Amino acid sequence: MDSASIQSVTFFDFLDRMRNPASLDLVRSIKSFIVSFSFYTANPENDGKKVQDFFFTMEAAIRDHPLWDGASIEEIDSAMEGLEKYVMTKLFTRTFAPLPEDVKIDQEISEKICLLQTFLRPEHLDIPAVLQNEASWLLAEKELQKINAFKAPREKLLCIMNCCRVINNLLLNASMSENVVLAGADDFLPVLIYVVIKANPPQLHSNLKFIQLYRRQTKLVSEAAYYFTNLVSAKSFIVDLNAKSLSIEEIKFEENMQAARLANKVARVEVSPTTHNIKASRAERGPGPSGRIHDNETNTSGGSSYPYMEAEAGELTVGDVERLLSLYKDVVTKYTGLCRAVRHVPVTKKVPPAPHLEGTDVMLIQPAETSTSMDSQKSFAESFARESKNN
Amino acid sequence: MGCAASVPDKSSGRSGGLNNLENGGPPDAKNLRVKLVLLGDSGVGKSCIVLRFVRGQFDPTSKVTVGASFLSQTIALQDSTTVKFEIWDTAGQERYAALAPLYYRGAAVAVIVYDITSPESFTKAQYWVKELQKHGSPDIVMALVGNKADLQDSREVPAQDGIDYAEKNGMFFIETSAKTADNINQLFQEIAKRLPRPSVPDS
């Protein structure tokens, strides 16, 4: 994308100027600011303010700096974009989802969306047929799902903007070709909410909070602020969502939610034993489906009661058959018991009696991006080196 | 990218509401930047009013951001002040009512729209007025707009009701037709005149 390549040029330019001996004073301020962060425990509100104050001070310093003598407003601005990216990449692990409660909220939202995904239809949000465009929606979802591929607040915000622009284009096109009256936000918000539910973007709450706190305040205004607010509002709608929020009968809604919970639960019970082998399986398979299990604190200790979870067909011997069969019966008994407990007959018919596969499916739905946040564990110096090379 | 991205704007970098002074750019009482939020039932024509305003102004290719729900437009006043409206549309359906505070926070202007053929939408407009009086910023400029004035034959809300209600609540009132463009520019000109002017902006 155009603006992305422009941005990498300006970031390179920023790094270049920072290597210039004349900028030693700036480099010192930046380094000491970053180091000062490690002295205190994370406190998002304070940290956000500290960072914003630092940006503010640095902007004045850069404007008066000989290296930027005679620079235009745009040049100062791109230096500031570079600074934001540099500082926030360095402080990423410290500032992104630093509190256990943030992690918990992220997980709750993501789980609720998982449930909603199983039955929510555009009609439940009264999205008119002319706006039901799977291709556009998919594009918008993809933009949103990219959000964890970036660490800089500006780039994360850009993912949101791009998602909203895709939806915007869809609405504008519909109003031109279909002769429908453009209904503005009346149409925009429902489509955005639907797209968010379909996309289930990773760490939605933490990403929004991070952008809010660390995107340069002078940049979170106007159109960017509007689209950002829309995503905040979509999140808030999803968090509070109940039968009354949708065009659906209350009984139907509860049934669907129960059924989805059940399917989830069954999946979890089935896969839980792998948590014990998580390291081994990760090493073998890379950050695959097991990443999902890792996120689930709710896993009950199934222990070694399902020892064949990791087994390959070729490794099994005839001697295993008896054990396998008894485990199978055990699983089926628990499964049907669960189904009965929720007394939901229609669903028991839908879910095939092969919970293994069902479980894996659910896991695979998870966006792969979640694993990128793990990268942040690597040293900042390394990531910085990588960035400068890439550019 | 196909969609109209906002024109790179040297004066960008001010926070919401009236353009209070931030770093970057000189203080400017002659070039105001204003966050305007649109409230009203779905179907009353909120976005049509804005589209009419935005497209009907200057050359359509000029400094305009046209989105489906966010638009900006600059107008010039007689005293050579310019006012850039950043217009935030909100979803009018009942199920999104609880989200409105996210949008009107920090707005300098609220335009509350109803449909003169729909008493329900007039009731809804009164709800928004009360909500803003309680939770909006205290110096917010509010305008009450009766739209679809071209549909005189199906009128169900007398103009006098709008006038009376607006007067009681210290608001500006106007009836518009997004269809015929009646009173659309007047609406925004009037709002611009009523904006508090930061004579000497203090940071």
A20: domain CATH number? 1.10.246.120
Mean pLDDT calculated for residue range B66-80: 87
Is A131 near chain B, with CB under 8 Å?
no
| 3-class state of residue B52 by DSSP | helix
Q: Do A244 and B47 touch (CB under 8 A)?
A: no
Question: Which residue reads 């009264």 in tokens?
Answer: A126
Does residue A384 belong to any structural domain of this protein?
no
Q: Do B102 and A229 touch (CB under 8 A)?
A: yes
Which pLDDT score, from 0 to 100, does residue A123 have? 97
Q: Do B69 and A56 touch (CB under 8 A)?
A: no
Question: Are residues A108 and A123 part of one domain?
Answer: yes
| 3-class state of residue A345 by DSSP | helix
Question: Are residues A105 and A90 part of one domain?
Answer: no
Q: Do B68 and A167 touch (CB under 8 A)?
A: yes
Q: Do A188 and B2 touch (CB under 8 A)?
A: no
What one-character-per-residue DSSP string does A51-75 give? HHHHHHHHHHHHHT-GGGTT--HHH
Cβ within 8 Å of B, A 201-260: 217-219, 221-223, 225-227, 229-230, 232-233, 236-237, 240, 244-246
Q: Which of A45, A64, A95 is the last residue of a domain?
A: A95
Query: Crossing angle for the helix pair A250-271 and A100-117, nearest 10 degrees?
Result: 120
Question: Are residues A177 and A217 part of one domain?
Answer: yes
CA pair distance A322, A316, nearest whole angstrom: 11
Determine the distance from the C-alpha atom of residue A343 to the mean position of all C-alpha atoms in its chain, rounded to a whole number. Answer: 34
Which chain A residues are closer than 8 Å to B32 by Cβ? none
Does residue A164 belong to any structural domain of this protein?
yes
Question: Are residues A362 and A329 part of one domain?
Answer: yes
- Radius of gyration of the CA atoms of chain B, in A: 17
Which pLDDT score, from 0 to 100, does residue A315 have? 77
Q: Do B68 and A244 touch (CB under 8 A)?
A: no
Which chain B residues are closer than 8 Å to A245 by Cβ? 95
Kindly tell me the sign of the dihedral angle through the C-alpha atoms of A212, A217, A221, A224: negative
Does residue A376 belong to any structural domain of this protein?
no
Is B91 near chain A, with CB under 8 Å?
yes
State the nearest Cα–Cα gap between B136 and chain A, in angstroms.
16
Task: Name the residue among A185, A218, A223 with its Cβ closest to that of B13.
Answer: A218
Mutant choice from B6, B32, B47, B73 vs A, greatest count of A C-beta within 10 A: B47
ipTM: 0.85
Is B97 near chain A, with CB under 8 Å?
no
Question: Are residues A258 and A238 part of one domain?
Answer: no
| Cα–Cα–Cα angle for A253, A257, A239, rounded to 5 degrees | 90
Confidence of residue B58 (pLDDT cuts 50, 70, 90): very low
Bridge partners (DSSP) of residue B82 are B31, B76
Structural element, H or E, at residue B72: strand B70-76
Four-point Cα dihedral A87, A88, A90, A91, nearest 10 = 110
Which pLDDT score, from 0 to 100, does residue A321 have? 82
Structural element, H or E, at residue A138: helix A134-145
Among A312-321, B78-87, B181-190, B191-200, which stretch is predicted with the lowest mean pLDDT? A312-321
The two counts, helices (H) then strands (E), for chain B are 5, 7
Does residue A381 belong to any structural domain of this protein?
no
Task: Name the residue among A73, A189, A219 with its Cβ closest to that of B10.
Answer: A73
Confidence of residue B6 (pLDDT cuts 50, 70, 90): very low
Is B134 near chain A, with CB under 8 Å?
no
In chain B the domains, ranked by start, together with CATH numbers, are: 31-194 (3.40.50.300)
Q: State the alpha helices, DSSP H only, in A343-365.
A: 345-350, 355-365
Question: Are residues A199 and A240 part of one domain?
Answer: yes
Q: Do B12 and A218 touch (CB under 8 A)?
A: yes
Cβ within 8 Å of A, B 56-75: 65-70, 72
Q: State the alpha helices, DSSP H only, in A241-271.
A: 250-271
Which chain A residues are closer than 8 Å to B65 by Cβ? 223
Does residue A219 belong to any structural domain of this protein?
yes
Q: Which of A192, A213, A245 is the last residue of a domain?
A: A245
Beta B31-39 vs B82-89: how paired, if at all? parallel
What phi and psi values does residue B9 have, to the nearest 5 degrees?
-130, 115
Question: Are residues A221 and A165 part of one domain?
Answer: yes
Bridge partners (DSSP) of residue A384 are none
Question: Are residues A84 and A115 part of one domain?
Answer: no
Which chain B residues are closer than 8 Å to A244 by Cβ? 95
Which pLDDT score, from 0 to 100, does residue A329 have? 82
Q: What is the CATH number of the domain that holds A120?
A: 1.20.1050.80
Determine the distance from the C-alpha atom of residue A317 to the mean position of all C-alpha atoms in its chain, rounded to a whole number. Answer: 42
Which pLDDT score, from 0 to 100, does residue B66 have? 66
CA pair distance A163, B138, nearest whole angstrom: 34
Please compute, for residue A47, the number of CA atoms within 13 A of its CA located in the half-sphere on the CB side: 28
Is A4 near chain B, with CB under 8 Å?
no
Which pLDDT score, from 0 to 100, does residue A309 have? 72
Domain around A313 = 250-368
For residue B8, pLDDT over 50 is answered with no
Question: Are residues A285 and A220 part of one domain?
Answer: no
pLDDT more than 90, % of chain B: 67
Does residue A382 belong to any structural domain of this protein?
no
Question: Are residues A266 and A192 part of one domain?
Answer: no
Which stretches in chain A have pLDDT values below 70? 1-7, 178-179, 270-307, 341-391
Q: Do A222 and B8 touch (CB under 8 A)?
A: no
Which chain A residues are closer than 8 Å to B8 by Cβ? 74
Mutant choice from A167, A194, A230, A245 vs B, greatest count of B C-beta within 10 A: A230
Does residue A33 belong to any structural domain of this protein?
yes
Q: State the alpha helices, DSSP H only, in A73-133.
A: 73-90, 92-95, 100-117
Question: Are residues A276 and A341 part of one domain?
Answer: yes
Question: Nearest residue of B to residue A222 by CA position?
Answer: B86
Which pLDDT score, from 0 to 100, does residue A39 have? 85
| All residues at 6 or more sequence positions from A318 whose CB lies less than 8 Å from its CB, including other chains | none
For residue B74, pLDDT over 80 is answered with yes
CA pair distance A272, A290, nearest whole angstrom: 10
CA pair distance A89, A95, nearest whole angstrom: 10
Q: Do B42 and A183 touch (CB under 8 A)?
A: yes
Is A64 near chain B, with CB under 8 Å?
no
Does residue A390 belong to any structural domain of this protein?
no
| All residues at 6 or more sequence positions from A225 whose CB lies less than 8 Å from its CB, including other chains | B16
Contact criterion met (CB below 8 Å) for A213 and B94: no
Q: Which of A95, A119, A137 is the last residue of a domain?
A: A95
CA pair distance B202, B20, nearest whole angstrom: 8
Domain count, chain A: 3
Q: What share of chain A is helix, strand, coil (3-state, %, to 5)?
A: 75, 0, 25
CA pair distance A308, A302, nearest whole angstrom: 13
Question: Which residue reads 């437009």 in tokens?
Answer: B73
Question: Are residues A201 and A118 part of one domain?
Answer: yes
